[in-house]
Amino acid sequence: MAKRLDLKAVDIYYGDFHAVQDVNLSVAPRSVTSFIGPSGCGKSTVLRTLNRMHEEIPGARVDGEVLLDGEDIYDRGSDAVAVRRTIGMVFQRPNPFPTMSIRDNVVAGLKLQGVHDKKKLDEVCEASLRGANLWKEVSGRLDKPGGGLSGGQQQRLCIARAIAVAPDVLLMDEPCSALDPISTLAIEDLIADLKKEYTIVIVTHNMQQAARVSDQTAFFNLEATGKPGKLVEIDDTSTIFSNPTEQATEDYISGRFG
Amino acid sequence: MATDTGLERPDRPAAAPAFQPLSTGRKLKDNLATVLVCLAFLVAVVPLVWVVVTVVGRGIGAIVSADWWGRSLSGVLPESFAGGVYHAIYGTLIQALIAGVIAVPIGILAAVYLVEYGRGRLAKTTSFMVDILAGVPSIVAALFIFAAFISILGAQQSAFMVSLALVLLMLPVVIRNTEEMLRLVPDELREASYALGIPKWKTILRIVLPTALSGTVTGIMLALARVMGETAPVLVLVGYSQSINFDPFSGNMASLPLLMFSELSNPEPAGQFRIWGAALTLILIIMILQLGASVVSRFSAISK
């Protein structure tokens, strides 16, 4: 199940614009790694290169290697669709499919990949909703549209949808930034549970959240607007927040930044 | 602070009240603008109501008879208040239907191309051509079909030729409308689908198109309603017939606009009677289509 991620000398470009420079990092299986840093420093960009989602933007390009258990996901033979089946993603704003019921939302990935065995779909649906801590709240109304849930429930529905296709790695792009503190707490508890089975990478603007949920923290920064973003430092979360090596990290964490 | 008016703070000099009363100048301008907007609305509505009242008033006598909906004008003398127009209703419906069957798939596929795949020169050219096509007058579309299919390829005049001209008129409407509906589908849904490892074509087919469905269907029905009243293609591309012809590929076929046009040369009062009746019938059919469109959009509206 959970796999290891290694980035080696990754540079990301949008057309001529050099967005992120020379990222090297490793993410251990069954761990949570958080990306922190100021807006525009490229942390979301790096996250989106991990499942080739940035390719949806015209002109985007990646140099270097992104290895999933040693296999380069940018290898010429590898298919972006297959990569995304292995590396799932949860987005900043909850985005359930508006035309589908709660059940169909959860199993959308499987169904559209060609699984039609109703018994299996029902099992996966229940397991995924339980995995996302949403089963108790929605089990009575699986046929209702997903858009009728609250924001926090919708986000957990999106997590259920992402884990229903059984990925090896789960990427989360500021999953709590549109949610209230109670829903945020629910998602954070969920992340702690999901860690037992998945490798998780999470982008967050909330440093307390990074400190609460992650084992490892990476700090990204950029020298000036227009310059490429860089990975400043990556270390155990406790080290980053108590005794960072770089002055820039300490400035950012202690609020002396910009 | 908004509440700091000086009243709660006796240590400060009393300030002028924070909110001045509405000045006379602004009141005047406000009233003037209200009057102008209401006048403009009346000017816009008066001709509309006038047309409806006239057509209903003069046409209602014709369409209330059972013969009107169930018989043709075959063998009916010009001066006789008898017969019906079902041959023309059939013609209008079948011509629009054939046009729709051809134009809708092409239009939707073109819109999907423009929104989901189109980049670079081909997309720009296509988009430009669609704009030009949208500006082509119906008589030009009709003459183009006449030149291309009848003069050059040697086809006979028929209802099908009319349908081809209607396709030219429907296509830009369907493409533009579908395009707008597809652009309204948030990219987040596409990304959510890609992130589940669903290929692009399946994302379009199963996520994007269903989300845009109700708006697309509404647009198609409006486009159909629009082309039903087109007169130039039926004048140029098919002959008039007093009797029913079920075959769209050969022979003369009546349609409501064509019937109205041919009855214009009938000096008898019965001719006027049929014209107004046909006009009301056409308006009714188009109204039913529009109502259908709004029902469809209500029923398949994305449930919240």
DSSP B94-124: HHHHHHHHHHHHHHHHHHHIIIII--SHHHH
Rounded distance between C-alpha atoms, residue B104 and residue B213, angstroms? 13
Cβ–Cβ gap B188/A91 under 8 Å? yes
Closest C-alpha to B169, from B251, B254, B232: B232
Q: How far is the alpha carbon of B211 from chain A, nearest alpha carbon, in Å?
A: 6
pLDDT band at B11 (very low <50, low <70, confident <90, very high): low
Sign of CA dihedral B225, B227, B228, B230: positive
Average pLDDT score over chain A: 88
Q: How far is the alpha carbon of A44 from chain B, nearest alpha carbon, in Å?
A: 14
The pLDDT assigned to B208 comes to 93
pLDDT of B300 over the 70 cut: no
Q: For A117-145, how does the pLDDT look when each residue is reduced to its tens digit (9 = 90+)? A: 899 999 999 999 988 888 988 988 999 98
Q: CA B172 from chain center: how many Å? A: 12
Closest C-alpha to B75, from B244, B234, B235, B239: B244
- B58: tokens are 């003069």
| Chain B CB contacts of A83 below 8 Å | 197
- A17: tokens are 């614009």
Cβ–Cβ gap A81/B198 under 8 Å? yes
Rounded distance between C-alpha atoms, residue B214 and residue A202, angstroms? 37
Site from B196, B202, B216 to mutate, A interface, most A CB atoms within 10 angstroms: B196
Cβ–Cβ gap A158/B192 under 8 Å? yes
A256 against B130, higher pLDDT: B130
pTM value? 0.82
- The answer to whether the CB of B88 falls within 8 A of the CB of B245 is no
Sign of CA dihedral A247, A248, A249, A252: positive
Cβ–Cβ gap A109/B202 under 8 Å? no
Cβ–Cβ gap A84/B119 under 8 Å? no
Could you give phi then psi for residue B239, rounded to 5 degrees?
-85, 160
By residue count, chain A amounts to 258
Partners of A172 in beta bridges: A90, A202
Residues 6+ apart with CB under 8 A from A256: A250
Rounded distance between C-alpha atoms, residue B85 and residue B91, angstroms? 10
Q: CA A5 from chain center: how many Å? A: 13
pLDDT mean over B275-280:
94
pLDDT of B273 over the 60 cut: yes
* A:B CB pairs within 8 Å: 80
User: Which residue is associated with the tokens 């209008």?
Assistant: B92
Sheet holding A169-173, edge to edge: A71-72, A60-68, A5-14, A17-27, A229-236, A216-222, A32-36, A199-203, A169-173, A87-90
Cβ–Cβ gap A91/B186 under 8 Å? no
Burial class (CB in 10 A: 0-12, 13-18, 19+), B164: buried
pLDDT mean over A81-97:
90
The pLDDT assigned to B45 comes to 95
pLDDT of B34 over the 90 cut: yes
User: Which residue is associated with the tokens 């779909």?
Assistant: A121
Kindly provide the ipTM of the predicted complex, given to two decimals.
0.87
Q: CA B196 from chain center: how many Å? A: 38
pLDDT of B302 over the 60 cut: no
pLDDT band at B162 (very low <50, low <70, confident <90, very high): very high
| Of B119, B190, B202, Cβ closest to residue A112 | B202
| Of B194, B198, B211, Cβ closest to residue A56 | B194
Kindly identify which residue of chain A lies nearest to residue B203, measuring between CA atoms. Answer: A112
The pLDDT assigned to A151 comes to 87
The pLDDT assigned to B304 comes to 39
Q: How far is the alpha carbon of B185 from chain A, nearest alpha carbon, in Å?
A: 10
The pLDDT assigned to B6 comes to 46
pLDDT band at B78 (very low <50, low <70, confident <90, very high): confident
pLDDT mean over B227-255:
91
pLDDT mean over B42-47:
95
Rounded distance between C-alpha atoms, residue B162 and residue B142, angstroms? 7
pLDDT band at A227 (very low <50, low <70, confident <90, very high): confident
Residues 6+ apart with CB under 8 A from B33: none
Average pLDDT score over chain B: 89
